[in-house]
């Protein structure tokens, strides 16, 4: 097992390096750089720059060098000092900007995940046991609608409903009057209220997918011969279902936990922009619009690394839960 | 929904379904002989027809594409036509009963404008003194049909002086219905163009990988793994941020298409490679080889048709992601931009919640997106079931 894990981690290293090259290449693709968009913005408010100042500012940020030199400096900084570069628009190191939003991102992602699993597993079991019942069809329809509606559009619909009914679109994570207040019960309640829409929006697609998976997995298990054996031996239906079938059906679902956390992380990008959440998503959007290249680059790199880690975690979980896979891999 | 997964036992279920009207009559009668004589594609067609939702989805998609094809004819107005007198005007109600309670052919009332004395916002009401019957195949704004010939024939319209906005107007006083219909030409064609690009890429790269094996295969597989580990939407966003703001319409369209297909060929290449590798070892390939059939012929006539159906299925399944990708990027202002019009571009007006709350018809493009995506999902589902007609 340890060898399996370490080998997977070792393979990751060249992949991450390759990814970082691609990311940086993509990020510097837009014509112009932060300076040119900054100057354009400043000139709109009647500030004039002479060529010397511009050149000096470019040189200060290393923007006058070719992209591979900038890349080499960037990656060297990450590897030697853990320095992800400087965010031009925030005037702070990239890492500061990213880590500041890490807490809220994690909180929303974890809540969403808990919601996803707590709802989808029982729903999947119900759907499989009562196959072709009204509830099953209802869940199927909801499932397809949920998978078909793009998350961020779903967010708009819910926000409009909330605006029409409560007069508040629930933008952001906390109401205006609580922004600079210390933590209190009222504020916590307010935050929880603001979490409802994000959790539903971000979780729906995943939940619907999981219900479908759970349903089909359980249907597969229920028709296995061992169920017949168990029934012939006089085990109660409940015991057959929960002790044997559900357990076996949960394997593939449990193994995707790692993967689904990262998918929530990155999948929520656009809905977070729409809902104006203080998470990582809007950060990328702003960074791309402002050509804040180190911020956007580090964001993409970190997310990709997280996806890689999530995949590895899923593989490990799967190998741990299902011995058959481990043996095949070892050979 | 899953009844087609289980094969009818002894024809009982089939007869039952036939009696309830789920199956056409000719399928209820004994068809064992026809079943064994049918070709693979016939079997697929038969199985696909059994998937009710997929059939409905196919009809819906057919209508949507027909509407896109005939866009200029169906839309009463062009993309750039606007009237500043009718900004944010609600959908025009179509009536069949007039004030005196008399039933008559569909008509609309004239639109009267008044200002709210408090908010100064424009209000549109029906001017019941003016009646405009809806005319079909009427002459209106001239257009160039698919770039082929000039015409001014429109599907419907109201006479001189009247206005008909089926879905209301946008903030620029442009008819939303026309814009949705014309926008569907972009929104619906873009995933197909993107698909063809990624289809060719996936087929070529996948075959190379599966056919040569060895070091070439490893390199390609690692590359695919790297591409697959990127978060799709954020990378699309980053790439489309690289498109210069002032590029010609056609070029922007092509660039966005390229971006969308750049990441989506990987899954296909994997399928092709896997199929290549497993089919290569099949007995019938060995038999063909022993019979002296050339490699090229084996690949073209025995291998590729063997997994073509899987390819088509996996292509269909990736359409929804492309539509959602294009819509969300255009919505965020990173993808297509005006004057190119797609559903995502139209939805940009829905970014302001207050705007939507006041003018709810601005969400109508959203309905089109959802219907299209769900239809493609069901269609792909039906195709997937049909792709394996022997189970």
Cα separation of B275 and B305, whole Å? 11
Please state the rounded mean pLDDT for residues B92-111. 78
Cα separation of A308 and A262, whole Å? 9
Chain B residue with the nearest C-alpha to that of A259: B229
**Residue spans of alpha helices (H) in A82-133:** 94-129
The full DSSP string for A206-274 is HHHHHHHHHHHHHHHHHTSHHHHHHHHTT--HHHIIIIIIHHHHHHHHHHTHHHHHHHHHHHTHHHHHH
Domains of chain A by range and CATH? 95-321 (1.10.3720.10)
Name the pLDDT band for B34 (thresholds 50, 70, 90): low
Report chain A residues whose CB lies below 8 A from the CB of B334. Answer: 285, 288
How many Å lie between the alpha carbon of A93 and the closest alpha carbon of chain B? 21
Q: How far is CA B307 from CA A161, B272, B383, in A?
A: 46, 8, 13
Name the pLDDT band for B33 (thresholds 50, 70, 90): low
Cα separation of A31 and A40, whole Å? 13
Chain B residue with the nearest C-alpha to that of A33: B242
Contact between chains at A156 and B241 (C-beta distance less than 8 A): no
Is 90 exceeded by the pLDDT of residue A232? yes
Residue B275 pLDDT: 81
Is 60 exceeded by the pLDDT of residue A3? yes
Choose the mutation target among A11, A27, A143, A148 for the interface with B, i.e. most B CBs under 10 Å.
Answer: A148
Task: Please tell me if residue B354 touches chain A, with a CB cutoff of 8 Å.
Answer: yes
What the block records as the tokens of B98 is 């007039």
Is 50 exceeded by the pLDDT of residue B10? no
What the block records as the tokens of A303 is 């997310």
Cα separation of A249 and B363, whole Å? 40
Between positions 223 and 242 of B, the ones with CB within 8 A of A are 225-226, 229-231, 233-235, 237-239, 241-242
Residue closest to B241 by CA, chosen among A65, A296, A274: A296
Report chain B residues whose CB lies below 8 A from the CB of A163. Answer: 353-354, 357
Query: How many Cβ contacts (< 8 angstroms) between chains A and B?
Result: 117
Contact between chains at B234 and A269 (C-beta distance less than 8 A): yes
Report chain A residues whose CB lies below 8 A from the CB of B360. Answer: 160
Contact between chains at B226 and A19 (C-beta distance less than 8 A): yes
Residue A233 pLDDT: 92
What the block records as the tokens of B188 is 């619906």
Strand ordering across the sheet containing B149-158: B95-97, B103-115, B122-145, B149-158
Residue B64 pLDDT: 92
Contact between chains at B374 and A152 (C-beta distance less than 8 A): no
Choose the mutation target among B187, B229, B358, B365 for the interface with A, i.e. most A CBs under 10 Å.
Answer: B229
Q: pLDDT averaged over chain B?
A: 78
Cα separation of B379 and B61, whole Å? 9
**Whose structure tokens read 């814009």?**
B179
Residue B35 pLDDT: 64
Report chain B residues whose CB lies below 8 A from the CB of A160. Answer: 353, 356-357, 360, 363
Rg (CA), chain A: 25
Residue closest to B182 by CA, chosen among B289, B16, B70: B70
Task: Please tell me if residue B358 touches chain A, with a CB cutoff of 8 Å.
Answer: no
Instruction: Return the domain boundaries, chain B.
Output: 73-181, 190-349
Residue B216 pLDDT: 86
Question: Bigger pLDDT: B237 or A54?
Answer: B237
Lowest-confidence region among A18-22, B156-160, B285-289: B156-160
Is 50 exceeded by the pLDDT of residue B68? yes
Rounded to two decimals, what is the model's pTM?
A: 0.79
Report chain B residues whose CB lies below 8 A from the CB of A15. Answer: 222, 225-226, 229
Lowest-confidence region among A245-254, A262-271, B292-301: A262-271
Cα separation of B197 and B177, whole Å? 31
Contact between chains at B328 and A30 (C-beta distance less than 8 A): no
Is 50 exceeded by the pLDDT of residue B5? no
Of A31, A163, A303, the CB nearest to B231: A303
Contact between chains at A153 and B229 (C-beta distance less than 8 A): no
**Whose structure tokens read 């050979």?**
A331
Choose the mutation target among A141, A147, A156 for the interface with B, i.e. most B CBs under 10 Å.
Answer: A156
Question: Bigger pLDDT: A306 or A175?
Answer: A306
What the block records as the tokens of B34 is 């026809």
Query: Vertex B196, ends B195 and B199: CA angle to 5°?
Result: 80
In terms of Cβ atoms closer than 10 Å to its own Cβ (0-12, 13-18, 19+), residue A124 is: buried
How many Å lie between the alpha carbon of B243 and the closest alpha carbon of chain A? 7
Cα separation of A134 and A92, whole Å? 56
Report chain B residues whose CB lies below 8 A from the CB of A31. Answer: 242, 244
The dihedral of CA A201, B316, A134, A238: what is its sign?
A: negative
Choose the mutation target among A270, A295, A302, A311 for the interface with B, i.e. most B CBs under 10 Å.
Answer: A270
End-to-end distance of chain B based on CA atoms, in angstroms? 16
Q: In sequence order, what are the beta bridge partners of B143? A: B151
Cα separation of A184 and A229, whole Å? 57
Query: Vertex A36, ends A30 and A40: CA angle to 5°?
Result: 120
Cα separation of B123 and B86, whole Å? 10
Residue A325 pLDDT: 62
Cα separation of B169 and B177, whole Å? 8
What the block records as the tokens of A324 is 């058959």
End-to-end distance of chain A based on CA atoms, in angstroms? 12
Residue closest to B372 by CA, chosen among B187, B161, B141: B187
Cβ A194 vs Cβ A174: under 8 Å = yes
How many Å lie between the alpha carbon of B385 and the closest alpha carbon of chain A? 14
Between positions 194 and 213 of B, the ones with CB within 8 A of A are none
Chain B residue with the nearest C-alpha to that of A305: B229
Contact between chains at B374 and A144 (C-beta distance less than 8 A): yes
What the block records as the tokens of A206 is 């995943």
β-pairing, B95-97 vs A92-93, is: unpaired
What the block records as the tokens of A319 is 């190998």
Q: How far is CA A230 from CA A47, A224, A225, in A?
A: 81, 11, 9
**If you count DSSP H runs as helices and E runs as strands, how many of each does chain B have, helices first?**
16, 4
Contact between chains at B231 and A266 (C-beta distance less than 8 A): yes
Cα separation of B97 and B128, whole Å? 12
Residue B202: how many other CB atoms lie within 10 Å: 27
Over the stretch B327-377, which tens digit does the pLDDT of each residue have?
888 888 887 877 788 888 888 887 777 777 778 888 888 889 988 988 888
Residue B60 pLDDT: 93
How many Å lie between the alpha carbon of B334 and the closest alpha carbon of chain A? 8
Residue B140 pLDDT: 76
Of A26, A150, A163, the CB nearest to B238: A26
Report chain B residues whose CB lies below 8 A from the CB of A153. Answer: 327, 347, 366, 369-370
Contact between chains at B363 and A147 (C-beta distance less than 8 A): no
Of B238, B328, B369, the CB nearest to A270: B328
Please state the rounded mean pLDDT for residues B185-204. 89
Contact between chains at A311 and B229 (C-beta distance less than 8 A): yes
Over the stretch A128-172, which tens digit does the pLDDT of each residue have?
888 878 888 888 888 877 777 777 778 888 888 888 887 776 777
Over the stretch A30-89, which tens digit does the pLDDT of each residue have?
777 777 777 777 777 777 777 777 777 777 777 777 788 888 888 888 888 878 888 878
Over the stretch B279-303, which tens digit does the pLDDT of each residue have?
777 888 888 889 988 877 887 787 7
The full DSSP string for B28-60 is HS--HHHHHHS-HHHHHHHHHHH-HHHHHHHHH
Over the stretch A309-330, which tens digit does the pLDDT of each residue have?
888 888 788 777 776 665 554 4
Is 60 exceeded by the pLDDT of residue B18? no
Listed in sequence order, the residues at least 6 apart from B323 whose beta carbon sits closer than 8 Å to its beta carbon are: B187, B190, B191, B369, B372, B373, B376
Q: In sequence order, what are the beta bridge partners of B112? A: B125
Contact between chains at B366 and A153 (C-beta distance less than 8 A): yes
Contact between chains at B242 and A169 (C-beta distance less than 8 A): no
Chain B residue with the nearest C-alpha to that of A263: B231
CA B372 to chain centre: 5
Name the pLDDT band for A122 (thresholds 50, 70, 90): very high
Is 60 exceeded by the pLDDT of residue B16? no
CA A278 to chain centre: 14
């Amino acid at each position: 097992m340890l060898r399996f894990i370490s080998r997977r981690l070792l393979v990751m290293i060249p992949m991450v390096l390759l990814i970082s090259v691609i990311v940086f290449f993509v990020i510097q693709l837009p014509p112009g750089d932060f300076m040119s968009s900054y100057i354009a913005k400043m000139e709109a408010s009647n500030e004039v720059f002479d060529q010397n100042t511009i050149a000096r500012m470019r040189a200060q940020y290393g923007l006058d060098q070719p992209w591979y030199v900038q890349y080499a400096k960037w990656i060297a900084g990450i590897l030697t000092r853990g320095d992800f570069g400087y965010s031009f628009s925030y005037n702070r190191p990239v890492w500061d900007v990213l880590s500041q939003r890490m807490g809220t991102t994690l909180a929303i992602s974890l809540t969403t995940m808990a919601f996803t699993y707590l709802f989808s597993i029982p729903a999947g079991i119900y759907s499989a046991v009562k196959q072709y019942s009204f509830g099953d069809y209802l869940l199927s329809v909801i499932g397809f609608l949920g998978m078909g509606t793009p998350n961020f559009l779903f967010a708009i619909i819910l926000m409009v409903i909330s605006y029409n009914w409560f007069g508040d679109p629930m933008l952001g994570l906390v109401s205006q009057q609580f922004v600079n207040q210390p933590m209190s019960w009222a504020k916590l309640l307010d935050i929880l209220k603001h979490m409802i829409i994000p959790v539903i929006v971000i979780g729906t697609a995943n939940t619907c997918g999981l219900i479908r998976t759970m349903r089909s997995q359980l249907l597969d298990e229920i028709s296995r011969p061992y169920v017949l054996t168990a029934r012939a031996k006089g085990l109660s239906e409940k015991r057959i279902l929960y002790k044997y079938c559900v357990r076996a059906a949960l394997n593939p679902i449990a193994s995707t936990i790692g993967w689904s956390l990262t998918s929530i992380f990155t999948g929520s990008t656009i809905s977070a922009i729409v809902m104006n959440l203080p998470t990582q998503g809007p950060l990328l959007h702003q960074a791309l619009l402002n050509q804040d290249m180190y911020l956007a680059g580090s964001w993409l790199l970190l997310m990709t690394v997280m996806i890689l880690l999530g995949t590895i975690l899923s593989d490990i979980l799967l190998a741990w839960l299902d011995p058959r896979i481990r043996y095949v891999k070892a050979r | 929904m899953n009844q087609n997964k289980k094969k009818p036992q002894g024809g009982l279920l089939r007869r039952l379904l036939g009696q309830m009207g789920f199956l056409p009559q000719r399928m209820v009668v004994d068809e064992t002989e026809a079943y064994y004589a049918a070709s693979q594609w016939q079997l697929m067609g038969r199985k696909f027809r059994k998937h009710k939702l997929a059939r409905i989805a196919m009809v819906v998609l057919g209508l949507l594409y027909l509407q896109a094809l005939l866009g200029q004819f169906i839309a009463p107005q062009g993309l750039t036509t606007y009237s500043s007198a009718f900004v944010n005007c609600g959908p025009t109600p179509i009536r069949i009963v007039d004030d005196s309670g008399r039933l008559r052919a569909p008509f609309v009332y004239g639109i009267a404008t008044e200002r709210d004395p408090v908010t100064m916002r424009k209000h549109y009401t029906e001017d019941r003194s003016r009646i405009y019957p809806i005319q079909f195949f009427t002459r209106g704004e001239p257009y160039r049909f698919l770039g082929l010939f000039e015409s001014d024939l429109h599907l419907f319209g109201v006479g001189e002086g009247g206005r008909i906005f089926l879905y209301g107007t946008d903030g620029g006083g442009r008819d939303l219905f026309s814009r949705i219909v014309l926008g569907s030409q972009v929104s619906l064609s873009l995933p197909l163009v993107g698909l063809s690009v990624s289809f060719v890429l996936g087929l070529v790269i996948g075959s190379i990988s599966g056919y040569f094996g060895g070091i070439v295969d490893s390199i390609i597989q690692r590359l695919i793994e790297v591409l697959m580990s990127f978060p799709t939407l954020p990378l699309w966003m980053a790439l489309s941020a690289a498109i210069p703001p002032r590029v010609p319409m056609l070029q922007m369209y092509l660039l966005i298409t390229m971006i969308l297909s750049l990441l989506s060929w990987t899954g296909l290449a994997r399928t092709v490679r896997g199929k290549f590798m497993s089919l290569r070892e099949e007995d019938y390939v060995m038999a063909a080889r022993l019979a002296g059939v050339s490699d090229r012929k084996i690949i073209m006539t025995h291998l590729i048709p063997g997994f073509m159906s899987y390819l088509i299925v996996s292509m269909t399944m990736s359409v929804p992601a492309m539509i959602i990708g294009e819509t969300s990027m255009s919505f965020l202002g990173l993808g297509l931009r005006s004057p190119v019009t797609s559903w995502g571009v139209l939805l940009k007006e829905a970014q302001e919640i207050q705007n939507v709350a006041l003018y709810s018809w601005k969400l109508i493009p959203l309905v089109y997106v959802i219907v299209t995506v769900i239809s493609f999902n069901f269609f792909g589902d039906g195709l997937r079931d049909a792709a394996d007609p022997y189970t």
